[in-house]
Chains A and B, each alone.
Chain A
Amino acid sequence: MPKIRAGLLVSAIVVALALGIGVYAGADETPSTAQGLAAWGQVYSVLTHPRCINCHTATNYPQQGDDRHRHVANVVRGPEGKGVPGLNCAGCHQETNADSTGVPGGHNWHLAPLEMRWQDINDRPLSSAAVCRQVTDRSRNHNLDGPGLLKHHEEEALVKWAWNPGIRPDGSKRTLPPMSHEEFVAATRRWVEAGTPCPK
């Protein structure tokens, strides 16, 4: 082989190796705790948005609206978070949004269990630290680990509903969480990869 072509070949191999090492290093680049906490902050901003927190109550009832007032018609949690006979959640909330009448819908509409309450009994959102602790407590979160939480955020129908929340009775669109679903999932991923750190 002539010297120049050999030199080019070596360079190409070096470059290829470097690129490969570089990519490998990117995949392996764990977010720092600081990055994880920042990501959690983004996740928390979604969890406490009305589209999510209205069903993560500490009380006997859900909330509705951006002002998070108590849900009309005195609907209550019931033993399984699905309401009570005569007033089941699914009685009004169908499988999909009813835009002509302004009632949101999604599969298996129900309240989040009390273990996943993100408010206090006075309907005030809990702190970022408190919610983070709850969400990562496997004795309360239905035994979800980090990847489990990520999958929940990515795939659960009622979670995804928050980004397709339908039309209000007055014809206006319900407001969306502060970032897209993709961004929410990406933030969750960064937080999980950082080891689900929680603020103090």
Chain B
Amino acid sequence: MASAELSRRGFLHVSFAAAGGLVVSLYLDPRSVVEAQEAPLPPQQPKVYPPAAFVNIRPDGKIVIQVNRLEFGQGVQTSLPMVLADELDADWTNVIAELALAADVYKDPMFGIQMVGGSGSIAHSFQQYRELGAKTRAMLVAAAADRWSTTPDQCRTEASVVHGPNGKSATYAELASDAARKPVPATVRLKNPTEFRLVGKKVKRLDSAAKCNGSLKFGLDLDLPGMKVAVVAHPPVFGGRVKRIVDDEARRIEGVRDVFEIPLAKGTGVAVVADKFWPAKQARNLLKIDWDVTGVEPADSSELWTKYRQLGQTVGNVAVSNGDASALDKIGAANRIAAEYEFPYLPHTPMEPLNTTVRFDGDRAEAWAGSQFQTGDQMAVAEVLGLKPEQVTFHTEMAGGGFGRRAVTDSHIQREAAVIAKRLRGTPVKLIWTREDDVQGGYYRPMHFHRVEVGVGPNGLPAAWRHVVVGQSLLIGTPFEAFAVKNGVDQTAVEGASDTHYNIPNLHVSVHHPKVNVPVLWWRSVGHTHTAFVMETLIDELASRAKIDPIAYRRQLLKPEAKKLLRPLDLLEKAIAGWRNRLPRGHALGISCHESFGTGVACAVDVSIENKRPRIHRATIAVDCGLAVNPLSVESQFQAGLSFGLSQLMAKGAITLKNGVVEQRNFDGYVPPYIVDAPVAVDVHIVPSTEAPTGCGEPPVPVISPAVVNALARLTGKRYRTLPLVNI
């Protein structure tokens, strides 16, 4: 977004912080106007900035940068400040990054809400943070130029110092007060990429040391004076309601304060409030609750599979229909492949159990949560408490993982916490979901069934492709429906298939969205989690059938404009040349490529079978993400993201339901990848690019499962179309 556009869409607001620093803000929402808030901060009020503040240059030289989205492992708390600091020419060793409160000014410039997801942190805020840095620098330079009676073009900046003619210099800290009085420039020159000092370089994370010595506080670690802890007993079937509570034993646990029924997003539950977690949990274990589950559908996995398989035999709502829909039928049976795929419900299970803390003071409230959806969560808390959103100070806490689980349109966790806090007015309440609550609590990646029929042309490439997807819609019935659901097709269920970059003639993709009584949610890379698996295993099968090298086949089949896949494929081919033909006996190569969220990835794995499981000795990744803002972060995201993606293959990697009840309870029943399941080594190669940066949060996930399974297919001759992989 060019700077000139900025002045039309919003304006820069500047104010003083009580300590006399420069506070610069940038407001980009075209829909409303910010009122200037010139009231000085009361000195005792910690960590409360005016609603529009991104950069605070303190008198001690520290530069505090507000990050407009949650840090939950992806490294945004380092990379966005890095971008700002680069344009600002700040001394990086004196930069402190903080996660911003929920406020209008911190909304994602593309989506208009404060959130993190869709791998959009860098993609959406890169330009924004560059301009924030550049404009702040411009104002500092203007102040220095004034002071020295010279002009800005006679000054240069480096490491938080402005240098003027005749050896003059002044630190940013010294200039901050004067700079704050300067007008905010409407336009500003941004650095030429060759001038970057940080962007494009491997910059280590700012939060490492604190995460390695136990000092960094996550939401679950919050401790406030007088705080109580709450746990909630949820119905065993989604939407069930409390009929009767017997709580005399529970109340006798020392430290238990209260036991009462609360409304849930669906149905009702029972809250237990105690001084500390252990008595709360003990008390909940002692509750005897009669549940009313009449009128709620008891979802059952095996029944659902039968229904889904049936639906998959018929055409659904059409997502795309290119060419001749009947072309497939004209191709003889000998040249047709039919494949059916099954994908189970998946839980996110981020390492930090879900939690939210709320204190309700009557006319105000305060909330703390590692939230991926601050705007919505703040509104939800306000609604429950009968307040306006701006009456709720909503703190964004550092989060122990998310993968989409902390971005929920119904804000159900925050609502539970607010309901409890309302009853305990004046007392902060920390709501904790135990791991059992998490594993059994819903909001899963939906289960999906795919049926694909491919007609193979004489050259071995697909000549027709009929694809039916069956799975619950994520967005029908939510505020996002208007954006992503058209003609009954939820794009998030077919992305990666209906918009494939393969040049497949006569492509027909349709979808059925059954309604099921299981809450569902996006799981890191969303629709690509299952569509990429289908596409990349089928493409691989076709390549094998045609006896064409899997990389060459893909190169041949991709559309010429699919540069973000073609370039990584080329880079991958070079990167694996050294090892692909020197695999030991019992090892096989697996290839995949997939583009998601604007980033193209090619993947190669070296796999053998050990103890009846796939052993991934090595993974090589080639990625085109445009300009890699922090190549170290890109490398980390891929090395680790592949391991996350392997969740889909784990033998006990599924949620199943029987008569409405989730069968898994904790990490004994749902088992994610441990170190032995992860690739031993991952090398990452980034396609050099100066194009606009695209995200790397989700793109690692879709490629790994099909690559591994493609390697297994070479070893065993079997095709794996049912996940998770229980038997190899």
Direct contact of A and B (CB under 8 A): yes
Give A residues with C-beta under 8 Å from B. Answer: 72, 74, 171
Does the CB pair B285–A171 fall under 8 Å?
A: yes
CB-CB under 8 A from A171, the residues of chain B are 285
Q: Using a Cβ–Cβ cut-off of 8 Å, how many residues does chain B contribute to the interface with A?
A: 5
Query: Closest CB-CB distance, B550 to chain A, in whole Å?
Result: 32
Select from chain B the residue with minimum beta-carbon distance to A71: B668
Does the CB pair A72–B676 fall under 8 Å?
A: no
Does the CB pair A74–B674 fall under 8 Å?
A: yes
B667 at the interface (CB under 8 A from A): yes
CB-CB under 8 A from A72, the residues of chain B are 667-668
Query: Closest CB-CB distance, A100 to chain B, in whole Å?
Result: 8
Residue of B667, B668, B674 with most partner-chain A CB within 10 A? B668
A75 and B676 CA atoms in complex are apart in Å by 12
A181 and B667 CA atoms in complex are apart in Å by 34
CB-CB under 8 A from B676, the residues of chain A are 74
Query: Closest CB-CB distance, B330 to chain A, in whole Å?
Result: 50
0/1 string, B662-694, CB within 8 A of A gives 1: 000001100000101000000000000000000
Select from chain B the residue with minimum beta-carbon distance to A74: B674
CB-CB under 8 A from A74, the residues of chain B are 674, 676
Select from chain B the residue with minimum beta-carbon distance to A171: B285
Interface contact tally, CB-CB below 8 A: 5
A149 and B28 CA atoms in complex are apart in Å by 81
A-B pairs with beta carbons under 8 Å apart, 5 shown: A72-B667, A72-B668, A74-B674, A74-B676, A171-B285
Query: Closest CB-CB distance, B453 to chain A, in whole Å?
Result: 39
CB-CB under 8 A from B667, the residues of chain A are 72
A171 and B674 CA atoms in complex are apart in Å by 28
Query: Closest CB-CB distance, A50 to chain B, in whole Å?
Result: 16
Select from chain A the residue with minimum beta-carbon distance to B676: A74
Query: Closest CB-CB distance, A169 to chain B, in whole Å?
Result: 8
A160 and B265 CA atoms in complex are apart in Å by 50
Query: Closest CB-CB distance, B535 to chain A, in whole Å?
Result: 33
A152 and B643 CA atoms in complex are apart in Å by 46
CB-CB under 8 A from B285, the residues of chain A are 171
A171 and B281 CA atoms in complex are apart in Å by 13
0/1 string, B635-668, CB within 8 A of A gives 1: 0000000000000000000000000000000011
User: Which A-B residue pairs are the 3 nearest by beta carbons?
Assistant: A72-B668, A74-B674, A74-B676
A158 and B285 CA atoms in complex are apart in Å by 30
Query: Closest CB-CB distance, A121 to chain B, in whole Å?
Result: 10
CB-CB under 8 A from B674, the residues of chain A are 74
Query: Closest CB-CB distance, B252 to chain A, in whole Å?
Result: 16
A74 and B652 CA atoms in complex are apart in Å by 13
A148 and B668 CA atoms in complex are apart in Å by 38
A171 and B676 CA atoms in complex are apart in Å by 31
Select from chain A the residue with minimum beta-carbon distance to B675: A74
A171 and B667 CA atoms in complex are apart in Å by 18
A72 and B674 CA atoms in complex are apart in Å by 11
Which residues of B, 450-493, contact A by the 8 Å Cβ criterion? Answer: none
A94 and B450 CA atoms in complex are apart in Å by 49
Query: Closest CB-CB distance, B610 to chain A, in whole Å?
Result: 12
Query: Closest CB-CB distance, B438 to chain A, in whole Å?
Result: 16
Select from chain B the residue with minimum beta-carbon distance to A100: B282
A74 and B675 CA atoms in complex are apart in Å by 10
A72 and B667 CA atoms in complex are apart in Å by 8
0/1 string, B276-299, CB within 8 A of A gives 1: 000000000100000000000000
A74 and B667 CA atoms in complex are apart in Å by 12
A61 and B115 CA atoms in complex are apart in Å by 44
Select from chain A the residue with minimum beta-carbon distance to B652: A69
A171 and B285 CA atoms in complex are apart in Å by 9
Select from chain A the residue with minimum beta-carbon distance to B674: A74
A171 and B284 CA atoms in complex are apart in Å by 12
Query: Closest CB-CB distance, B279 to chain A, in whole Å?
Result: 12
A171 and B288 CA atoms in complex are apart in Å by 14
Query: Closest CB-CB distance, B323 to chain A, in whole Å?
Result: 50
Query: Closest CB-CB distance, A68 to chain B, in whole Å?
Result: 14
A171 and B282 CA atoms in complex are apart in Å by 11
Query: Closest CB-CB distance, B255 to chain A, in whole Å?
Result: 14
Query: Closest CB-CB distance, B277 to chain A, in whole Å?
Result: 13
Select from chain A the residue with minimum beta-carbon distance to B282: A100
Query: Closest CB-CB distance, A21 to chain B, in whole Å?
Result: 61
Query: Closest CB-CB distance, A171 to chain B, in whole Å?
Result: 6
Query: Closest CB-CB distance, A145 to chain B, in whole Å?
Result: 38
CB-CB under 8 A from B668, the residues of chain A are 72
A1 and B667 CA atoms in complex are apart in Å by 89
A74 and B674 CA atoms in complex are apart in Å by 8
A72 and B676 CA atoms in complex are apart in Å by 14
Query: Closest CB-CB distance, B716 to chain A, in whole Å?
Result: 19
Select from chain A the residue with minimum beta-carbon distance to B668: A72
A72 and B652 CA atoms in complex are apart in Å by 12
A72 and B669 CA atoms in complex are apart in Å by 9
A74 and B676 CA atoms in complex are apart in Å by 9
Select from chain B the residue with minimum beta-carbon distance to A60: B611
A29 and B674 CA atoms in complex are apart in Å by 59
Query: Closest CB-CB distance, B659 to chain A, in whole Å?
Result: 19
A33 and B356 CA atoms in complex are apart in Å by 69
Query: Closest CB-CB distance, B715 to chain A, in whole Å?
Result: 21
Query: Closest CB-CB distance, B626 to chain A, in whole Å?
Result: 39
Select from chain A the residue with minimum beta-carbon distance to B611: A60
A76 and B41 CA atoms in complex are apart in Å by 58
Query: Closest CB-CB distance, A196 to chain B, in whole Å?
Result: 36
A49 and B574 CA atoms in complex are apart in Å by 57
Query: Closest CB-CB distance, A66 to chain B, in whole Å?
Result: 14
Query: Closest CB-CB distance, A23 to chain B, in whole Å?
Result: 55
A156 and B385 CA atoms in complex are apart in Å by 61
A150 and B674 CA atoms in complex are apart in Å by 42
Query: Closest CB-CB distance, B379 to chain A, in whole Å?
Result: 38
0/1 string, B543-561, CB within 8 A of A gives 1: 0000000000000000000
A120 and B38 CA atoms in complex are apart in Å by 77
Select from chain B the residue with minimum beta-carbon distance to A170: B665
Select from chain A the residue with minimum beta-carbon distance to B278: A100
A72 and B668 CA atoms in complex are apart in Å by 6
A59 and B676 CA atoms in complex are apart in Å by 17
Select from chain B the residue with minimum beta-carbon distance to A64: B668
Which residues of B, 329-384, contact A by the 8 Å Cβ criterion? Answer: none
Select from chain A the residue with minimum beta-carbon distance to B285: A171
A159 and B667 CA atoms in complex are apart in Å by 29
Query: Closest CB-CB distance, B674 to chain A, in whole Å?
Result: 6
A171 and B668 CA atoms in complex are apart in Å by 16
Select from chain B the residue with minimum beta-carbon distance to A76: B676
A165 and B667 CA atoms in complex are apart in Å by 22
Query: Closest CB-CB distance, B656 to chain A, in whole Å?
Result: 16
A15 and B674 CA atoms in complex are apart in Å by 76
A74 and B668 CA atoms in complex are apart in Å by 11
A8 and B11 CA atoms in complex are apart in Å by 127
Query: Closest CB-CB distance, A30 to chain B, in whole Å?
Result: 48
Query: Closest CB-CB distance, A43 to chain B, in whole Å?
Result: 31
0/1 string, B48-65, CB within 8 A of A gives 1: 000000000000000000
Query: Closest CB-CB distance, B614 to chain A, in whole Å?
Result: 16
Query: Closest CB-CB distance, B349 to chain A, in whole Å?
Result: 14
Select from chain A the residue with minimum beta-carbon distance to B667: A72
Query: Closest CB-CB distance, B525 to chain A, in whole Å?
Result: 26
Query: Closest CB-CB distance, A64 to chain B, in whole Å?
Result: 9
A74 and B672 CA atoms in complex are apart in Å by 12
Which residues of B, 193-214, contact A by the 8 Å Cβ criterion? Answer: none
A63 and B668 CA atoms in complex are apart in Å by 12
A60 and B247 CA atoms in complex are apart in Å by 45
Query: Closest CB-CB distance, B615 to chain A, in whole Å?
Result: 14
0/1 string, B132-168, CB within 8 A of A gives 1: 0000000000000000000000000000000000000
A72 and B435 CA atoms in complex are apart in Å by 15
Select from chain B the residue with minimum beta-carbon distance to A72: B668
Query: Closest CB-CB distance, B668 to chain A, in whole Å?
Result: 5
A74 and B671 CA atoms in complex are apart in Å by 11
A74 and B285 CA atoms in complex are apart in Å by 28
Query: Closest CB-CB distance, B206 to chain A, in whole Å?
Result: 29
A72 and B670 CA atoms in complex are apart in Å by 11
Query: Closest CB-CB distance, B693 to chain A, in whole Å?
Result: 38
A99 and B196 CA atoms in complex are apart in Å by 60
